Amino acid sequence: MTTDATTLMGREETVGKRYPLWMERLLLLGGVVIFVFGRPAVADTVSQPLASVLLTYIAFPLILLAGVELLGRVLQASMRS
């Protein structure tokens, strides 16, 4: 066996420039801040109690997390080129 850096698909890996992880952490922190301050507004949008809880504590954080992840990937792709 060789010690070349390859993937399971047999591609050659090249080391690129380092991705600043602090940007990703700032985005996640921003998502948490948006959740904390946006939670009351989201909770007031639905008058039915169960739907309000599901929307506020399940759907809203998942949407925020998906948005933060998408923004992080866009940022990472823009820094690559």
**Helix (H) / strand (E) containing 39:** helix 21-43
Tell whether pTM > 0.85.
Answer: no
Q: Is residue 71 part of a domain?
A: yes
Give the range of the structural domain holding residue 69, as residue numbers without chain letter.
47-81
Across-strand partners of 41?
A: none
Q: Is residue 19 part of a domain?
A: no
Question: By three-state DSSP, how is residue 6 classified?
Answer: strand
C-alpha R_g of the chain: 19
Average pLDDT on 51-72 reads 96
* Residue that wins the pLDDT comparison between 21 and 19: 21
pLDDT in the model for residue 3: 61
Query: What's the mean per-residue pLDDT of the chain?
Result: 87
Q: Please check the confidence at residue 6 and state whether its pLDDT lies above 70.
A: no
CB 4 within 8 A of CB 11: no
As a whole number of angstroms, the distance between CA 1 and CA 17 comes to 28
How many structural domains compose the chain? Answer: 1
